């Protein structure tokens, strides 16, 4: 178990830092572009997003560390980690597309692909480490909600 802690800390820090990088892009658009958008029903206050994403990134990092540490090397682990990497890239590019470039339609395509990849990652993690898979379920739920919001912004701000 002592060899797990460094991996856990590394995974959580990397995921949190990558997630925070998206926040830098977001911060510049909130008072200007985002504030002027018509918002779909159920849009939370801006202050909700940071804490929610912080908890989700913590859970994502723990999930990754569990698969890295507890799952023996093999093809299934490799495929699962590739799925994880793809969903992480999609997660990271959504923010600059939506908030940075203001490409709401493209962002919707990215977030739908992200949703699919999170689901595929959960399905790949489940037989390897059930806890790692379950740690990603709140992430999938939040991205489901974010997909609704993205679609709502698209419809209301044509």
Half-sphere CA count of 87, side-chain side, radius 13 A: 26
Q: How confident is the model at residue 24 (pLDDT cuts 50, 70, 90)?
A: confident
Average pLDDT value for residue range 77-85: 98
Beta carbons within 8 Å of 79's beta carbon, 6+ residues apart: 124
Provide the pLDDT for residue 1: 67
CA distance 17 to 11: 10
**With 80 as the cut, is the pLDDT of residue 78 above it?**
yes
Q: Which residues of 142-153 are buried (b: 16+ CB within 10 A; e: fewer)?
A: bbeebbebbbbb
Angle at alpha carbon of residue 88, lines to 114 and 153, rounded to 5°? 40
Domains of the chain: 4-156 (1.20.1260.100)
pTM of the model: 0.95
């Amino acid at each position: 178990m002592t060899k797990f802690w460094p991996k856990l800390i590394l995974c959580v820090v990397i995921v949190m830092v990558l997630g925070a990088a998206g926040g830098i892009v977001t911060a510049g658009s909130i008072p200007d572009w985002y504030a002027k958008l018509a918002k779909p029903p159920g849009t939370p206050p801006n202050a909700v997003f940071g804490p929610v994403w912080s908890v989700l990134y913590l859970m994502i990092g723990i999930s990754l560390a569990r698969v890295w540490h507890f799952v023996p090397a093999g093809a299934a682990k490799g495929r699962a980690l590739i799925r994880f990497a793809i969903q992480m890239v999609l997660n990271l590019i959504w923010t600059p597309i939506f908030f940075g470039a203001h490409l709401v339609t493209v962002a919707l395509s990215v977030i739908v692909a992200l949703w699919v990849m999170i689901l595929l990652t959960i399905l790949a993690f489940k037989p390897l480490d059930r806890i790692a898979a379950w740690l990603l379920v709140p992430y999938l739920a939040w991205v489901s909600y974010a997909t609704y919001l993205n679609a709502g912004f698209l419809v209301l701000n044509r």
